[in-house]
A and B are shown apart, each in its own frame.
Chain A
Amino acid sequence: MRDTLSLLFYLMRLRVRTRLEFRASLVIAWVAQAFGYAGVFTQLWLILTRFENLGGWTWPQMAMLLGFHTLGYALGACFTLVQLRRMEEIVLGGEFDTLLVRPINPWAYLVFSGFNVEYGGHIVLGAGLILWALPHLGLVWTPGTVFLLAGGLISAALITASTITIISAFALILGRARYLFGLYFDFWELSRYPASIFAPALQLMLLTVVPLGYMAFVPVSVLLGRPVPYLGSFAEAAALAAGPLSVLAAVAFWRFCMNRYQGGGG
């Protein structure tokens, strides 16, 4: 176990060192991606400047929600998105077969050897929005609040990594999965808004079958003392449990697909 962990860490270091060979390009990528997100967030800022609130959420509250969503996503995606988004090509090109004969778990190899440091812009933007918003929100800081903030972010990262793993696993049994990422990002964009502005059926969907509502809406609502539809007083526990539960679901589904994998090409 210790050897495996040190190997995975070594693979990560190799990847980071490779990317750091082109430092200027990396910094440009950070700035560009942060700029892209900032453009989208500016649209919401413009709406809130004109209308004062979005379904009762003021700009500092929205900034907290957007920052939490971006940071939680970045922490999960840096381990999974770029690596597993090309699962379809990995399977159809026969690369996955070569991973199966290596003395390491193929998922772990893909995830750690492809660790993506390009999420620096997301992390700075997300953390920056949270740090800007916090003084405006008048939160009462207790150990419980700190635990919820940190635990909620980890949970959001786990939800991201789990969802991407589940989607990529479809390539093992269907041969194709790339188109599902488009759908994932449509729902993911939905989850950056307060779920309470959506129709009840969509709210329920974001809290059950597509549990992206737990990425930011539920934990931030609990932090701000805002009501969470359907969950009520269970919202805090649900915000913290959603990540680990999604990991269990992803592990089960990955194993299910691995057991049915019959080779996709070569």
Chain B
Amino acid sequence: MSAFIALVLASFRRETQHRLQTAMRIIGGLVEILARISIWQAVYAGRAAVGGISLDSMMTYALVGGTILSSWEATMIVREVGTTIRTGAIGATLLRPASYPLMLLAEQIGARLFEWVIIGLPVIVVMGAIYGLLPPASLPHGLLFIGYLAVSIAILMLTGILIGLFSFWVFDAHSLEWFMRGLLAVLSGSLVPIWFFPAGFGEVVHFLPFSWITYHPMAVYLGQRDLMASLEYLVGGIGWAGLLALTVAFVWSRACRQVVVQGG
């Protein structure tokens, strides 16, 4: 466990080394959120609410969903796994006294924490001050949101690691990364909440694990469902995360058999 935390902290510290890059990422974050907010302002076109969802709620969805629940950068895990395989570094990785997927998870959590604290928070503060930011619907909703946040990051990272591990067979992580981006763009509800989806499509997407990355946490944050339902969905999300973890463990055990190291 201490090794896991050490890896998380090391990854966080590594991200802090590039100061100018961090400044650019903050500016980039502001630009991205500005685009999301402008889209919702434009489609609401002066209406206070559409389908029971207020413009203020959508601004908060854009702000929180586009920063701490964003899925875009997470696709980098796939690229990292691909690079490890292509360069042959996977051989050295297997010699370490720790599971490769766990190491990946720790490093990604460190990078994610950095994104939340150093990039997400300034963006939320600046854009929230300009456009307004709704607090969680109630204190219990806020507490449940923290649980959803953990489920969101677990599902996102495990999905990334799982897709990345397929590089052992297809050897083309770049393509896998693009597939993941396309999949998450729609199915996580990162820009468009599932309550705006066409009925049949929305009902299917609602129960897929990807919807726990952005949509379900934000639905709870905004109080779109009562506490009992929120708790049920949280359990559902934990179930998906557990299933993904088991799948990653199974795929990793198979992937290890694919590795042939010649020389050193």
Q: Is the CB of B50 within 8 A of A193?
A: no
What CA separation (Å) do A150 and B39 show in the bound complex? 29
A187-207 near B? 1/0 per residue, CB < 8 Å: 101100100011100100000
Q: Is the CB of B186 within 8 A of A36?
A: no
Q: Is the CB of B24 within 8 A of A197?
A: no
Q: Is the CB of A32 within 8 A of B42?
A: no
What CA separation (Å) do A54 and B191 show in the bound complex? 14
What CA separation (Å) do A25 and B170 show in the bound complex? 9
Q: Which residues of B contact A42 (CB under 8 A)?
A: 185-186
Q: Is the CB of B31 within 8 A of A186?
A: yes
Which of B81-89, B192-200, B221-229 has 4 or more CB atoms under 8 Å from chain A?
Answer: B192-200
Contact of A186 among B20, B27, B176, B184 (CB under 8 A): B27
Q: Which residues of B contact A46 (CB under 8 A)?
A: 186, 192, 196-198
Q: Which residues of B contact A55 (CB under 8 A)?
A: 42-43, 45
What CA separation (Å) do A40 and B198 show in the bound complex? 17
Answer yes or no: B183 CB below 8 A from chain A CBs: yes
Q: Is the CB of B41 within 8 A of A197?
A: yes
B27's nearest neighbour on chain A, judged by CB, is A183
Contact of A179 among B18, B39, B171, B178 (CB under 8 A): B18
Q: How far is the CB of A53 from chain B (nearest CB, A)?
A: 8
Q: Is the CB of A189 within 8 A of B178?
A: no
Q: Is the CB of B178 within 8 A of A186?
A: no
The number of residues on chain B lying at the interface, defined by a beta carbon within 8 Å of a beta carbon of chain A, is 40
Q: With A38-B182, A39-B181, A179-B20 as given contacts, are A197 and B172 in contact (CB-CB < 8 Å)?
A: no
Q: Is the CB of A36 within 8 A of B178?
A: yes
Q: With A28-B175, A54-B39 as given contacts, are A179 and B192 in contact (CB-CB < 8 Å)?
A: no
For chain B, residues 10 to 29, give those with C-beta under 8 angstroms from any C-beta of chain A: 18, 20-21, 24-25, 27-28
Q: Which residues of B contact A49 (CB under 8 A)?
A: 198
Answer yes or no: B35 CB below 8 A from chain A CBs: yes
What CA separation (Å) do A193 and B37 show in the bound complex? 12
Answer yes or no: A6 CB below 8 A from chain B CBs: no
Q: Is the CB of A183 within 8 A of B182?
A: no
Q: How far is the CB of A198 from chain B (nearest CB, A)?
A: 5
B161-179 near A? 1/0 per residue, CB < 8 Å: 0000000001110111111
A55's nearest neighbour on chain B, judged by CB, is B42
What CA separation (Å) do A158 and B174 show in the bound complex? 26
For chain A, residues 32 to 49, give those with C-beta under 8 angstroms from any C-beta of chain B: 32-33, 35-40, 42-43, 46-47, 49
Q: Which residues of B contact A190 (CB under 8 A)?
A: 31, 34-35
Answer yes or no: B56 CB below 8 A from chain A CBs: no
A148-186 near B? 1/0 per residue, CB < 8 Å: 000000000000000000000000000010111011011
What CA separation (Å) do A193 and B38 show in the bound complex? 10
What CA separation (Å) do A28 and B34 show in the bound complex? 34
B194's nearest neighbour on chain A, judged by CB, is A46
Contact of B176 among A32, A43, A47, A53 (CB under 8 A): A32
Answer yes or no: A51 CB below 8 A from chain B CBs: yes
Q: Is the CB of B27 within 8 A of A36?
A: no
A202's nearest neighbour on chain B, judged by CB, is B34
Q: With A43-B192, A55-B42, A179-B18 as given contacts, are A193 and B35 in contact (CB-CB < 8 Å)?
A: yes
A-B contact pairs, 15 of them (CB 8 A): A25-B172, A32-B177, A35-B178, A36-B178, A39-B183, A39-B184, A43-B186, A46-B186, A47-B192, A51-B50, A54-B43, A179-B24, A182-B21, A189-B32, A202-B34
Give the A-binding residues of B (Cβ under 8 A).
Answer: 18, 20-21, 24-25, 27-28, 31-32, 34-35, 38-39, 41-45, 50, 170-172, 174-179, 181-186, 190-192, 196-198
